[in-house]
Chains A and B, each alone.
Chain A
């Protein structure tokens, strides 16, 4: 068929408005004759359906009342353990009774419509969506009259000054949103890590000695000055935590490739990296001991902790920032300084 298309008349832009005749090549035979349903011809069948529907509505009534009784009768902490059905008895009974009741009301109404209500199709004519030429003319005329009466066309000074005022009137709506938040300033460049802050286990808050860690071990850690913040200001605590979380890992020194300038950032193969992914800021957490790879569970960026935490797979673009470590007088791991670069996801002015 498609080869014949060259012989067919092409529609041109002029014909765009013409109504296409769909009733060819076969003329419209009109609506198919109505077929009677069994409920239309057999009163017994119709009565049967009526009883069906009434049963559904009746059952729904019982279930709704059942739901109300269940609300008061079932203790809120009772549990159901019935094969795969397990959970809070009160919620489940309420849901089952009320849900089933709603469903039955709906099913009954639909059954009524489908089986008993007259099902002969009827026809409604469509009318063009837009105005008729006469209506169009009347509307335009009225509009012009209004424009002329207002002098909007003639009084240019009024028109322009009004448009100018209206153009700026929304500005305060934007300006007053200024106090939604502080300006970023240097907030993203710093964490609460500083020289001499101890590295503590993030669950027990205990400081860590190099001898506590065996090769292959990874500890989720935090700065020692974080815990005190929780009482002081829960918000500051969360915000600081979101930036200062670290992982401390001990790797066999022979397997470590130290990036230049970081020769003394580790202690006997113990290295410390930011736990916050440089992609969009999820805490990375899946460590594979044998390969020293750590994987972010959000988007699967993979970092090699033995090689300066450089990215070896996934959408992250930068290595995890490393925290320079040292040992204090009592033999505990401490930071040499804050991170030397912003932690977490990239941002425009980061550099």
Chain B
């Protein structure tokens, strides 16, 4: 052991920082391997890329709305009056070497950051990774997504170009619709009437300091909790609620995750080099009296935009006040309600199912048909609103009436999620049944055998014990039983109405789910009958036929 000593600089640091005490377990920390665990990594790495490229941009960007006459090298805008913010964005794009590249990497990484967080959230949702003990990490992750969207939108507004200025004008109009405080909020945020000359410097400091700082803090807590809880894993042979099976942080994940950072950075850099994004010089400086047709925000604002677009124009005027339902409902009520529901989902589901146990094994989406259906409904709702955000482009590209697209969406946002829920749940239940068939009867080999008596039957081949275990390594989820109406002494149970509701919701969650077969059922299926005979293949029957219908 004596040769296992820290080299002097490490020794020096350890005596001051003490990391040597946790080095052994830390270096061999186990992470399970699955492609879907990579989504959060993409989000983390895009955030780091955003910090790096964003810092570069601040060296030249002038967060000022002071008006100047442009004299830079982009000849089409020479002599035009514009804000210093817009002019310095042009300078970054045309006069600073690598500036346009950095701007484009920054924008692509921002778009990717939010997309990755959202897909990561969906993975967490559909696999039930948000259950105890990870509910708070779900909320932290969700908060980062929320902050990321605001951060992205504000950043998009900083260049003070015509497109983003229009976006801010819309936002200002939405804020103004807030009952009682709307006008005051606007005057405080924008320093008076719109556009004023305060918004760029104010949004700048929020964009480069406040929100990134908050996200950085939340990322640290998020990762700390991942380490503390240890990563979830999919069920499988040897994988239990009490262990975590995978590869060690050092060396495998150091190389894989570290390498993946370079891959994400490399891909965003290639995108920045090859794919143009947000060419602000084509839009021109912000002018409150101009707008371009087909104006679109960045993709993550699309659902809000759609929500506002498809809302019919209702307004109430009474007692000298105006209530703009055409904005209050789609911009001030529905989005907050939607995000609150998503943020609180772990607690809602936990209450309904009455499940207070720790979960480290992930669900396959099919094994939770109702949750999966709810997820599909949420995606459909979001997706339809998102389509609404591009109703004009859909109309012009497909040559259909804009009004028809809008009217279709006005109904579809309500009916679509219901349909999606129902269809998804049925598909999940069918997949569960297919799994049970696979466990009980094995695989259809596609080989038809005629018996000496003349009857036909299909050969089935049993699945491996490992696969059978993997398919059955899940819990028997049963509806919550709230017990009898009265106890032995005839006293009514407390909070009966609430508990009845809870039991009804719980039945809704679990009643139609297919339970895995019992040991007896498996035994019986394997021993009985000629109809679905379990036979080993002979040498002449190719394995390919057997595997062709594997899902």
**Residues of chain A having any CB pair with chain B under 8 Å:** 1-2, 4-5, 8-13, 16-20, 22-32, 71, 76-77, 85, 87-88, 90-92, 94-96, 98-110, 112-114, 117-119, 121-126, 128-129, 177, 180-184, 187-188, 202, 220, 222, 230, 234-235, 238-239, 241-243, 245, 275, 279-283, 285-286, 297-301, 311, 313-318, 344-351
Contacts and interface: CB of A to CB of B under 8 A. Distances in A.
Contacts of B522: 25-26
A109 B256 contact: yes
A234 B173 CA distance: 22
B42 to A, nearest CB: 12
Given A90-B98, A245-B288, A182 B187 contact: yes
A297 B292 contact: yes
Contacts of A27: 469
A242 B519 contact: no
Interface string B235-248: 10111111111111
A314 B436 CA distance: 51
A182 B186 CA distance: 10
Nearest to A22: B473
B433 interface: yes
B237 A29 contact: yes
B55 interface: no
Given A26-B519, A106-B262, A245-B288, 15 more contacts: A29-B466, A30-B238, A32-B237, A103-B263, A117-B251, A123-B30, A124-B30, A230-B81, A242-B288, A242-B289, A280-B174, A313-B406, A346-B315, A347-B177, A349-B322
Contacts of B259: 105-110, 112-113
Nearest to B305: A299
B478 A10 contact: yes
Contacts of B240: 22-23, 28
Interface stretch (B213-221, B379-387, B454-462, B510-518): B510-518
B476 interface: yes
B97 interface: yes
Contacts of A318: 315
Given A124-B29, A238-B195, A280 B187 contact: no
B276 A315 contact: no
B238 to A, nearest CB: 3
A325 to B, nearest CB: 19
B270 A96 contact: yes
A95 B309 contact: no
Contacts of A107: 259, 262-263
Contact of A94 (B101, B193, B243, B311): B101
Contacts of A108: 259
A99 B473 CA distance: 43
Contacts of B253: 113
B465 to A, nearest CB: 5
A129 B291 contact: no
Given A28-B238, A345-B177, A94 B273 contact: yes
Nearest to B395: A300
B178 A123 contact: no
Contacts of A238: 195-197, 288
B167 to A, nearest CB: 9
A238 B517 CA distance: 72
A279 B188 contact: no
A22 B256 contact: no
A183 B173 contact: no
A283 B170 CA distance: 11
A24 B476 CA distance: 10
B321 A95 contact: no
A29 B469 contact: yes
Given A10-B481, A76-B97, A106-B260, A315 B245 contact: no
Contacts of A283: 288-291
